């Protein structure tokens, strides 16, 4: 079955990838819900909220600062690179929940960041935004307006950037192949994207060593890691 898809990959014209933390796991970036999803004994899920940030902005910034350091030295793996190479054969759009920028680094030209970006920060009160590629010292950093700056990412209970989400739904609704790689699909609304593709009769492929809640909806489940399996699709 996997071989069948390898032979047929070029028949698809509009390919959408939905990716999550698992695709960067082989670049040395921990996932959220795996065994490595804990940071200093804190549950990462409890840090990714605005309440946690207001309770202890320094702690949440320390978590992001450590992740910034890790992400800045990480390199795209063969999974990211295979996705970028697929652009030679089809229109490819990557809808990623990751904030690490590794799809862009590997050469993918159309990447929509659903949950923001590690290089961007914004004021928790006013409209100030900026990109910072160096280390952030004196935590928490302060805005010129006197309020606390925060990572420009989407935490639980917050809306996704509306324009990004609209575009993501549009691409998902129009694709003929959706490949869902390295995500547990437990977080909404990103986990609804396969439903839009299915409504368009798209072929759905899941790449994940583990089952997910949506595995039953897939046309093909590849129970291997993304760095192992994705290069075979374009070879
Ligand atoms: C491999 C592999 C390898 C391993 N190869 N695979 C009750 C109260 C409040 C909100 C809600 C509620 N109930 C539902 C909600 C909505 C909520 C939600 O979905 N919660 C669920 C957890 C229940 N969603 C939201 O709040 C979203 N906003 C929203 O809905 O707005 C409307 C609204 C407003 C107000 C109230 C309610 C709704 C926003 C969600 C934002 C998520 N943010 C985070 C942090 C982003 C910034 C950061 O990175 O720090 O996004 S949390 C975290 O989860 C991060 C991820 O992008 C996201 C998804 O995780 P992902 O990528 O799937 O990772 P894992 O670890 O879960 O899975 C990895 C997978 O890879 C596994 O399956 C492995 O097997 C696999 N894997 N190695 C391939 N080598
Ligand atoms: Zn401000």
Q: In 3D, which of 207, 210, 235, 232 has the Cα closest to residue 221?
A: 207
Cβ of 21 below 6 Å from ligand 1? yes
Phi, psi dihedral angles at 152 (to 5 degrees):
-90, 70
Strand partners, 43: 38
Longest dimension (CA), the chain: 59
Strand pairing report for 220-222 and 203-207: parallel
Q: Is the pLDDT of residue 83 over 80?
A: yes
Question: Measured from the CA of 20, which atom of ligand 1 is nearest?
Answer: 62
Determine the average pLDDT of the residues in 226-231: 97
For 138-158, the pLDDT digits (tens) are 999 999 999 999 999 999 999
Cβ of 150 below 6 Å from ligand 1? no
Name the residue of 21, 29, 37 to mutate for ligand 1: max ligand atoms within 8 A of Cβ.
21
For 13-34, the pLDDT digits (tens) are 999 999 999 999 999 999 998 7
Q: Is the pLDDT of residue 7 over 70?
A: no
Q: Is the pLDDT of residue 1 over 50?
A: no
Domains of the chain: 1-28+76-115+160-235 (3.40.50.1220), 30-73+118-153 (3.30.1600.10)
209 is in an annotated binding site: yes
């Amino acid at each position: 079955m996997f071989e069948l898809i390898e032979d047929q990959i070029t028949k698809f014209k509009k390919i959408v990838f939905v990716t999550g933390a698992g695709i960067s796991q082989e670049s040395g970036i921990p996932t959220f819900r795996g065994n490595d999803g804990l940071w200093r004994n804190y549950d990462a899920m409890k840090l990714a909220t605005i309440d946690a940030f207001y309770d202890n902005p320094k702690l949440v910034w320390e978590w992001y600062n450590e992740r910034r350091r890790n992400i800045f030295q990480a390199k795209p793996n063969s999974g990211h690179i295979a996705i970028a190479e697929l652009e030679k054969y089809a229109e490819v759009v990557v809808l990623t929940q990751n904030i690490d920028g590794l799809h862009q680094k590997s050469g993918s030209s159309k990447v929509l960041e659903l949950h923001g970006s590690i290089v961007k920060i914004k004021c928790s009160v006013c409209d100030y935004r900026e990109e910072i590629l160096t280390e952030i010292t004196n935590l928490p950093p302060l805005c010129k307006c006197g309020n606390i700056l925060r990572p420009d990412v989407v935490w639980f209970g917050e809306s996704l950037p509306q324009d990004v989400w609209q575009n993501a739904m549009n691409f998902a609704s129009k694709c003929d192949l959706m490949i869902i790689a390295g995500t547990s699909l437990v977080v909404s609304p990103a986990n609804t994207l396969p439903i839009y593709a299915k409504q368009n009769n798209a072929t759905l492929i899941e790449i994940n060593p583990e089952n997910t809640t949506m595995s039953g909806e897939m046309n093909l489940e590849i129970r291997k890691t993304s760095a192992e399996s994705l290069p075979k699709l374009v070879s």
